[in-house]
Every structure is written in structure tokens, then in C-alpha cells.
């Protein structure tokens, strides 16, 4: 696959402020060992702060100022949940780096230099005090960015082995048009209001009449419009749940062109017509989704297998000293060169060179054409 490897840790991305006392770990303290390879506290801390910055920037508005103490799952806070994910990802990245040769993966000299340049720039644009809080030494930044670049290339290499053949039968998506008769109305302030029992009965009677009469109509949508109703389109398969599970079950039993009976739910009544047993666009999209799921599963299964074949030990005493509650880290909203700090695979670089060459050839052809036109005009 031809794609760009984008170094996610852009220089100058972190805005850092202390909330409590500084952590007491040393940079070379060992957080975990993967085989005989150590993950030091400075590497773990810097990568953890990178992930923290994304959560602080994009999720704090939803989770609140005390997001790290809030519950992510039963008995586990968001800090504990995210830190578990951070450490597992770091372990996986080290594992993948150890198996690069098996997948014929490597970072080119150009890629390595871009990582070095980006790490150097990060050091130049961030104050020393801020860098120390997140273990942002040039060495640590370069190491984390290298691991991230390796992980992306290894993921591509592993996923290239996934089965990409998906039949129409496996991915088939049907298409239907439906009308919904809700058991709610809108008040003067635009808010949704539950109907009275009497109003619901009226809505159901209207739906029943529609369901009976539309079976004789040639055009479902036009008939709905005549009855001042809105016909919506949806694609589905047997596993779909929207717009309503009972509607899906009923529609899934029909042949093309057939209409459901009235389908009543707690929210209101539905009537639908099956337009196609294989919607081409939706089916192709489902094929892509199935392939992506296969690729992700293959990647996850591969990482899990690599884990089983090696000893991984975690030093919780050190890891616990890295806390999201002592430092606030967000992503600076600054304008970036859209191509800044990008690492490209060799094939992409070659493809871009070919594209540039083609554009130059095209410009030359246009120029020659203009010249010929001028000569003919003379």
C-alpha cells in the first residue's frame, strides 16, 4: 500500500502546565522490559504525555476538568484505563521493532533524518522547564517518534497479509424506503414532547391506512409525499439495528418491491418498501469495512502472538509515579506546514517524483502546443 507515514508528534505541539509536585522518577528508571529491551521512564513518560495531550484537548470538554478521576469502566478511572493502553502500546511498538527483519521493514535514511529533524525542532521551540516535565529531551522524543514510525510501517506490513476477497453474498446490503409515524410531537420551543394516548392512537391509525394503501402504489416516495409524509432511504442487512430492529427483521424477509405491514415500536410506527436486495454502493462499502476488520484483527492477533513468545515485565513502582493529575498537557493550536515532519515510504516518494515529472511533461506539452498555435496563427 502506498501511503505516507505521518509523524504524529509535531514539533511545538505541547502546551504544558504543572498542577502538583513533579514526579519523583529518574529518566533511566525502568518501567518495563520486553525480552531484554528496557522501556525507560523518560520514554514512557513522554509517550504517555503525548497521549494525554490528545485526551486533554479533544475529550476534556465532554469528560470535565476532573476527567482523570472519572470512571471509565467499573472499578477503573480514565487515568488507569489510558495508562494501561499507553503501556501496552509501548510494549507492542518495541515488540514490532524487534521483528522488523521478518517483515522486511526498515526506516530509510531519509525517514530517520526527518525524525531527527523533528525531534530537534521540538527541543528548540519548547522551554527547558516544559520539556523536563514531560521528559522531552531530544533523545527521548527521537526514540518515541522512531517507535511510532516503525509501528505504522509494521502494521501496514502485517495487514498486507489479510484476506481482501469478499463476495457480494457475504457483504450484501439491501436498500429500502420507509416512512416513520412518531409518537412524539414538537412544542412551540422546538422540543420533542411525548404524545397523549389519544394522539398515539391517531398516529397509528394514520400509519395503518398508509401501510394498506401504499401496497398498491407504484412509487413509494411519491405516494408518501401525497400523504404529507417523508420517505427516507436506508441500507441494511440482517445484523442492522437502525432505524429499528423490528423493522429490519420484517424488511429482511421480503423480496424486492414488497412492502412491510405496519411495524409498531415504542417510538412510533414504520412502513417500508424493499427497493433492492443488493445495493451496489452500500455493498462495496461493507466489503471495505469487512476487509478493514480483517486487517485490524490480523494485526491484533499478531501482536498478541508476539507477546506470548516473549517475557514482558512491568515495574509498577516506577510506572505509578507517572500521573496525569500532576501536569496538564494539551495540543497547541498552531498553523503547521501541511507537509511538515512527514516521513514517506520510499514507494510514495518515488510516486510523488513520478507525479512531479508527469506534471512537468504536461506543462512542456502545453507550452509546445501554445507555440504551435502561435506559429499557425502567423
Q: Are 29 and 36 spatial neighbours (Cβ–Cβ below 8 Å)?
A: no
Asked whether residue 161 carries a pLDDT value surpassing 70, the answer given is: yes
CB distance 142 to 119 below 8 Å: yes
Q: What is the pLDDT of residue 118?
A: 85
Same domain for 155 and 297, yes or no, is yes
Q: With pLDDT > 90 as the criterion, what percentage of the chain qualifies?
A: 66
pLDDT exceeds cutoff 70 at 157? yes
Do 13 and 111 lie in one domain? The reply is yes
Please state the three-class secondary structure of 308-326 as a single string: HCCCEEECHHHHCCCCCCC
Residue 130: all three cell numbers together: 516544559
The CATH number given to whatever domain includes residue 201 is: 3.10.50.40
Question: How far is Cα 99 from Cα 86, in angstroms, rounded to an integer?
Answer: 20
Q: Can you state the angle between helices 78-98 and 280-308, rounded to 10 degrees?
A: 80
Asked whether residue 377 is assigned to any structural domain, the reply reads no
Average pLDDT, the chain: 86
Q: CA 197, CA 195: separation in Å to the nearest integer?
A: 6
Is 378 domain-assigned? no
d(CA 13, CA 5) in angstroms, rounded, equals 18
What are the cell numbers at 193?
414532547
- The reply to whether omega before 243 is within 30° of 0 (cis) is yes
* DSSP SS3 for 178: strand
Kindly report, residue by residue over 80-132, the tens digit of the pLDDT.
999 999 999 999 999 999 999 999 999 999 999 988 988 888 888 778 888 88
> Which pLDDT tens digit goes with each residue over 257-299?
999 999 999 999 999 999 999 999 999 999 999 999 999 999 9
21: confidence class by pLDDT, cuts 50, 70, 90: low
Of 62-66, 149-153, 170-174, 311-315, the poorest mean pLDDT is in 62-66
Mean of pLDDT values over 229-254: 97
Provide the domain count of the chain: 2
Q: Report CA-CA distances (Å) from 188 to 137, 194, 204, 360.
A: 59, 14, 23, 62
Cβ–Cβ contacts within 10 Å for residue 179, how many? 22
Which among 214, 245, 277 is the end of a domain? 277
pLDDT band at 4 (very low <50, low <70, confident <90, very high): very low
- Give the domain range for residue 87: 4-164+290-350
* Cα(306)–Cα(202) distance, integer angstroms: 63
23 falls in which pLDDT band (50, 70, 90)? Answer: low
Domain boundary among 252, 277, 302: 277
In the prediction, which pLDDT does 122 show? 85
Confidence of residue 369 (pLDDT cuts 50, 70, 90): very low
pLDDT at residue 366 above 80?
no
Looking at residues 313-332, what average pLDDT do you find? 91
Question: Final residue of a domain: which of 246, 277, 308?
Answer: 277
pLDDT of 180-235, one tens digit each? 999 999 888 889 999 999 999 999 999 999 999 999 999 999 999 999 999 999 99
Is 374 inside any structural domain?
no
Amino acid at each position: 500500500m502506498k501511503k505516507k507515514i505521518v509523524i504524529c508528534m509535531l514539533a511545538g505541539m505541547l502546551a504544558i502546565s504543572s498542577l502538583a509536585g513533579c514526579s519523583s522518577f529518574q529518566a533511566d528508571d525502568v518501567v518495563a522490559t520486553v525480552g531484554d529491551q528496557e522501556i525507560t521512564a523518560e520514554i514512557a513518560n513522554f509517550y504517555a504525555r503525548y497521549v494525554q495531550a490528545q485526551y486533554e484537548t479533544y475529550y476534556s470538554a465532554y469528560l470535565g476538568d476532573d476527567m482523570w478521576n472519572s470512571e471509565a469502566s467499573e472499578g477503573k478511572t480514565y487515568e488507569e484505563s489510558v495508562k494501561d493502553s499507553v503501556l501496552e502500546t509501548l510494549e507492542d511498538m518495541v515488540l514490532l521493532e524487534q521483528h522488523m527483519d521478518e517483515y522486511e521493514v526498515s526506516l530509510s535514511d531519509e525517514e530517520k533524518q526527518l525524525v531527527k529533524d523533528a525531534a530537534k525542532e521540538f527541543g528548540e521551540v519548547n522551554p527547558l522547564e516544559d520539556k523536563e516535565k514531560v521528559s522531552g529531551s531530544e533523545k527521548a522524543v527521537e526514540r518515541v517518534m522512531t517507535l511510532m514510525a516503525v509501528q505504522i510501517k509494521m502494521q501496514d506490513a502485517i495487514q498486507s497479509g489479510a484476506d481482501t476477497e469478499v463476495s457480494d453474498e457475504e457483504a450484501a446490503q439491501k436498500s429500502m424506503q420507509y416512512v416513520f409515524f412518531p409518537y412524539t410531537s414538537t412544542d412551540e420551543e422546538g422540543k420533542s414532547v411525548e404524545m397523549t394516548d389519544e394522539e398515539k392512537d391517531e398516529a397509528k391509525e394514520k400509519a395503518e391506512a398508509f401501510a394498506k394503501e401504499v401496497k398498491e402504489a407504484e412509487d413509494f416516495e411519491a405516494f408518501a409525499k401525497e400523504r404529507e409524509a417523508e420517505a427516507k432511504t436506508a441500507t441494511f442487512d440482517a445484523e442492522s439495528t437502525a432505524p429499528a430492529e423490528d423493522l429490519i427483521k420484517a424488511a429482511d424477509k421480503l423480496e424486492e418491491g414488497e412492502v412491510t405491514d405496519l411495524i409498531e415500536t415504542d417510538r412510533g410506527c414504520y412502513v417500508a418498501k424493499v427497493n433492492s436486495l443488493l445495493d451496489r454502493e452500500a455493498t462495496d462499502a461493507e466489503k471495505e469495512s469487512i476487509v478493514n476488520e480483517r486487517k485490524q484483527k490480523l494485526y491484533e492477533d499478531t501482536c498478541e502472538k508476539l507477546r506470548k513468545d516473549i517475557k514482558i515485565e512491568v515495574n509498577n513502582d516506577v510506572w505509578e509515579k507517572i500521573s496525569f493529575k500532576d501536569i496538564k498537557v494539551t495540543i497547541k493550536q498552531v498553523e503547521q506546514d501541511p507537509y511538515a515532519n512527514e516521513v514517506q515510504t520510499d514507494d510514495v516518494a518515488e510516486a510523488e517524483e513520478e507525479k512531479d515529472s508527469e506534471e512537468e511533461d504536461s506543462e512542456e506539452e502545453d507550452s509546445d502546443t501554445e507555440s504551435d498555435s502561435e506559429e499557425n496563427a502567423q
